[in-house]
Amino acid sequence: MSAAYDSHAVIQLAASSTAEHRPLIITLFAVFVAATLAITVWAGRQTKSASDFYAGGRQFTAFQNGLAVSGDYMSAASFLGIAGAIALFGYDGFLYSIGFLVAWLVALLLVAEPLRNSGRYTMGDVLAYRMRQRPVRTAAGTSTIVVSIFYLLAQMAGAGVLVSLLLGITSDAGKVLIVALVGVLMILYVTIGGMKGTTWVQMVKAVLLIAGALLMTFLVLWKFDFNVSDLLGTAAEKSGHGAAFLEPGLKYGSTDVSKLDFISLGLALVLGTAGLPHILIRFYTVPTAKAARKSVNWAIGIIGSFYLMTIALGFGAAALIGPDEIKAKNPAGNAAAPQLAEYLGGVGTTWGAILLAVISAVAFATILAVVAGLTLASSSSFAHDIYANVIRKGTATEKEEMRAAKWATVAIGVVSIALGALARDLNVAGLVALAFAVAASANLPTILYSLFWKRFTTQGALWSIYGGLASSVLLVLFSPVVSGKATSMFPDADFAWFPLENPGLISIPLGFLLGWLGSVLSKEEPDKGKYAELEVKSLTGTGAH
């Protein structure tokens, strides 16, 4: 979801206004980049051990980690995409906000505390505790890197479009250069600052995003004398749908396929979050499991407050700008929030340009923070799971492992730059749907079975991870997201035989089923002693690092 809305978020935004005030926009962007790099360098000086690099030395408080988790989770999709979805589809658009928020209850109730108690740095630590190390760590590392790269690619493409449009860059070479710049920044954040630098950048970004949304919410409500009923009534009237705009069914519900698509998307959003690698590694940055649980509580509060504000932003855009003008800028409504910012400040005025520049800089900040978290998750998994435990069989020193993580960061950065440059003009919705679907189909079943089912075996873990990974990738490749529609990645081709845009409805149950089936059919006898140890460790924190 995250970059489905990032990619073309500011297409054709008030071109004359932005051209006139472009020096101001460039200055704001430069100030933000310089400030975050300064934070990263400062944090890098305190990064001395593997624990510092991977987990920030486990020194962050519950509130700090909650703020960073919020910064990692609230991507530009939350800001740009949900506002646009609400502006065009009313009630059905707000369902995205609900899905994203409910997902945290799954993370809080099932994953946060046991994961913090059971592992050291990555998801692979938990899976390998009572199973054969090398195959399970290879599978966990592969899944983590695949999820992260697809999520990364979407963010990179989105950042390229966002910055090139605001800075007035239209040439292909210029757009590729922007993608490369974002990639270089991402590599610097992770290699210099590690988890400490990334966490501080995410905290700053979360504060900026909440402040930006709060300011716009206040200005929208002020326009309607703080009467929410007036705001909703005007939005419904101007939408062209009347009362139906405030009721379910405008986007999802017209056909049986669209209803199934909504269930599928909801499953992927709600269950995928608890399996996203860059979210999971955040639980290792706090000193105790209790702090991990509290940090999720803080995150729910911060994220919940933000999603409440998306109601004002979305319905405000519908009421003040109208769907026709929103769709004229971008058919998917992705430009609604920046359009609203310029409207609230005054179209063509300096204040309008300032508000547009600030909100766009905040949107760019969200991309940088999410990109840094994703890169850190994938490079950590490669260095810790694949290099240290599979290739070197546990003989690598901390220094060698950190060096491997930094080289992995550079490699992942280069791959992301190359793919991001190729995907800069594509609809990247499929890439994000894939990231959530893989996380929910491959990672979550394996984590839950490892923590809570004593008969789970190595074969079950491998079937679950690779089966969930393969099924979700295959179904997305042959879905309308990739071909067969005007909004597909390849609109001129049509090889879509799977009718749903999100594979979650099929691939998530399949991931759970394969994990169970692989374990039941396995000749391997589960190590009940190791399971008992893991159970005590995950529930009590005894012996946790």
Strand, helix or coil at 483? strand
Higher pLDDT, 368 or 13: 368
1: pLDDT confidence band, cut at 50, 70 and 90? Answer: very low
pLDDT at 52 over 70: no
Tell me the average pLDDT across 228-249.
86
Please identify which residue in the block is written with the tokens 């090889």: 495
In 224-288, which ranges are continuous DSSP H helix?
228-239, 256-272, 277-280
User: Cβ neighbours of residue 225 under 8 Å, at least 6 residues apart?
Assistant: none
Tell me the average pLDDT across 83-105.
83
Predicted confidence at residue 245, as pLDDT, reads 86
What burial letters (b/e) apply to 52-87, b meaning 16+ CB within 10 Å?
Answer: bbbbbbbebebbbbbbbbbbbbbbbbbbbbbbbbbb
- Phi, psi torsion values for 483, nearest 5 degrees: -150, 165
Tell me the average pLDDT across 210-228.
92
Predicted confidence at residue 467, as pLDDT, reads 95
Predicted confidence at residue 55, as pLDDT, reads 64
**Percent above pLDDT 70 for the chain:** 88
Lowest mean pLDDT: which of 171-180, 311-320, 523-532, 536-545? 536-545
Nearest to 77 by CA among 343, 336, 258: 336
Q: How many helices and strands in the chain, by DSSP H and E?
A: 24, 0
pLDDT at 201 over 50: yes
Tell me the average pLDDT across 325-345.
79
517: pLDDT confidence band, cut at 50, 70 and 90? Answer: very high
**Percent above pLDDT 90 for the chain:** 13
Higher pLDDT, 454 or 153: 454
Q: Concatenated DSSP letters for 410-433?
A: HHHHHHHHHHHHHTTTS-THHHHH
Is residue 163 within 8 A of residue 489, CB to CB? The reply is no
Predicted confidence at residue 290, as pLDDT, reads 81
Lowest mean pLDDT: which of 8-12, 87-91, 139-143, 237-241? 8-12
